[in-house]
Amino acid sequence: MSVAVDLFIPGRSWLHQTDPRVKLLFVTVLLILLILFKNLWIMAVILLALHLLHWSAQTPFKKIWFIWKTLLPVGILMMLLRTIFYPAGEVLFSFGIFRLTTGGLTEGMVLALRIFSMALTVFAWLYTTTQSDLVQSLVRLGIPHAWGMVLALALRYIPTFQWTYTLISEAQQARGLDIQGRKGFQRVWLMMPIFIAMIISAFRASNQLAMALEARGYSSQRSKRTTLHPLSFRPADYLITAILLLIFGTLLFLYFWSGFGSHPILLLS
Amino acid sequence: MPVQRITLTAVCIAIVAVLVSSVPVPIAATGGFTHPGAIAEIFIALAFGPVVGGIAAAVGAAIADLALGYGSFAPLTFLAHGCLGVLSGYIGWKKGITGMVIGWIVGGLALVAVYFMGEATVYGFGVAGAAAELPINLFQVGLGFFGLLLYQLVKRAYPQIDQLGGSPTYQER
């Protein structure tokens, strides 16, 4: 089983061209708002707006469906649990101790919408940003260059180690390791020889990588690090940042001043 | 930071990400799947301490969450797995078997507690919703015991593990 770690979808949309730092600000701002707001209508509008954002960024349908498909079981389970265990407001239907209430149902739906919206927000950033731009933006935001290097190398090596794991697993199974049909702790116990071989192989790769980096003068303190495609803020990026901060500031002010979005149904409580 | 430490941390992040995202472990009770990520996280924390352990667990697990599509849970995963890595490394690194076991238990419980608190309050799932995830998180942390075992076995097969991550010293002959 191999999972694609590089989520970037090539494209030339406005979101692709927006500076990754602006996109990171967008993600931070929206995640805070999504956690604060508890209103069904606001959540629904945000979810719709996020789909429009993905549409404008030319995200293929199957990539949106991938998010929905993954989160649907969690979303439905959490909605049901919230509805059943936290009844409030008018009773719509009752069966034994189970009561379906307007309050419980609304809060459950808010919860499900929040789960989907948070994921769509994060993926709007990751679907439109290359791994190198992502790392560079974090470094430009103040993360030490060495830690940026750590992240870049980790992203580079994940597919390699997935392949190593598959290779070792198949080699061990060809020599009689029988993990098929085993479950839980028993399965993990049988997988230990695969883990040991994979980890030692990874540490050897780490040593070779360190030598290769040193041979190219990476540890030299005298050289200033440069990049092939340096990030630069365009006028549009300044504009988007200003709009984002204005919207965030206004909504935050309204939330704390008038309780905007803190009631499940009413816009102002 | 020495180059060896940079490459070691990167490799550890990748190992955690691979074990979380690409190695399914079927569970007999539910018929579902979980992952052996905690094994790698405990192993790395015990072998290389709280800094490498914390970063590898937090970043590796968060990358895996994103790759699998659980984007909304990635920030909480970062925090929860980070706590496991830091605490297990802080308590169990360079300690005897008792220290390692305590490190595994404390780190594991911290992961479960952070997930529970985060889901119940910040995400708004409530106690019932957060409790639904408890058994699976406890099972994952239970698997972490194999991380302790893995450390002993890898150390036997590859004794150089204790020198990894530090600046190498060269001697002229």
CB pair distance less than 8 Å for B28 and A184: yes
Q: Which amino acid is at A104?
A: G
DSSP letter for B144, please: T
Domain segments of chain B as ranges = 3-163
The structural domains of chain A, with segments of one domain joined by +, span 14-135+235-258, 145-215
For residue B34, list its beta bridge partners: B25
Considering only the beta carbons, identify the residue of B7, B124, B150 that sits closest to A210. B7
Distance of CA B36 to CAs A14, A191, B19, Å?
Answer: 40, 10, 6
B10, amino acid identity: A
**What distances in angstroms separate CA A143 from CA A28, A136, A138, A147, B112, one per listed residue?**
17, 9, 6, 7, 29
More confident residue, B25 or B167: B25
Distance CA B172, CA A219 (A): 21
Query: What are phi and psi for residue B172, nearest 5 degrees?
Result: -80, 135
Looking at beta carbons, which residues of chain A come within 8 Å of B17?
5, 154, 158
Interface pTM, i.e. ipTM: 0.91
Comparing A38-52, A87-101, B54-68, B123-137, which segment has the lowest mean pLDDT? A87-101
> What value does the mean pLDDT of chain A take?
91
Q: How many Cβ pairs within 8 Å bridge chains A and B?
A: 205
Taking CA–CA distances from B124, the nearest residue in chain A reads: A111
**Residue B79: per-residue pLDDT:** 96
Cβ-based contacts of B18 with chain A (< 8 Å): 158, 161-162, 165
CB B152 within 8 A of CB B117: no
- Asked if the Cβ–Cβ distance from B68 to A70 is below 8 Å, we say yes
Of B1, B3, B63, the CB nearest to A5: B63
Res B169: pLDDT: 63
Q: Residue A138: what pLDDT?
A: 95
Mention every residue, 6+ apart, whose C-beta is less than 8 A from residue A211.
Answer: none
Q: Which of B13, B19, B22 to mutate to test the interface with A (most CBs of A within 10 A)?
A: B22
- What proportion of chain B, given as a percentage, has pLDDT over 70? 95
Counting DSSP H helices and E strands in chain A, the numbers are 9, 2
A178: left (phi over 0), alpha (psi -120 to 50) or beta: beta
Of A81, A86, A158, nearest to B14 by CB-CB distance is: A158
pLDDT, tens digit (0-9, with 9 covering 90-100), for A136-148:
999 999 999 899 9
Q: How many residues does chain A have?
A: 269
Q: CA nearest A207: which of B25, B163, B33, B88?
A: B163
pLDDT tens digits, one per residue of A162-205 = 999 999 999 999 999 888 878 888 899 999 999 999 999 999 99
Give how far A240 is from chain B: nearest CA, Å: 23
Q: Is B29 within 8 Å of B136 (Cβ atoms)?
A: no
Structure tokens at A97: 């101790």
Worst-scoring range by mean pLDDT, A119-123, A177-181, A220-224, A237-241?
A220-224
The CATH class of the B3-163 domain is mainly alpha
Is A35 in contact with B123 (Cβ distance < 8 A)?
A: yes
Indicate the pLDDT class of residue B168, thresholds 50, 70 and 90.
Answer: low
Residue B142 is which amino acid?
A: G
Please state, in angstroms and rounded to a whole number, the distance separating the CA atoms of residues A5 and A218. 26
Choose, out of A28, A118, A199, A201, the residue to mutate when testing the contact with B (most B CBs < 10 Å): A199
Strands, DSSP E only, in chain A? 91-95, 98-101
Question: What's the rounded Cα separation, in Å, for the pair A103 and A112?
Answer: 14
Distance CA B172, CA B139 (A): 51
- Residue B94's φ and ψ, nearest 5 degrees, are 60, 30
Find where tokens 């969690």 sit.
Answer: A74
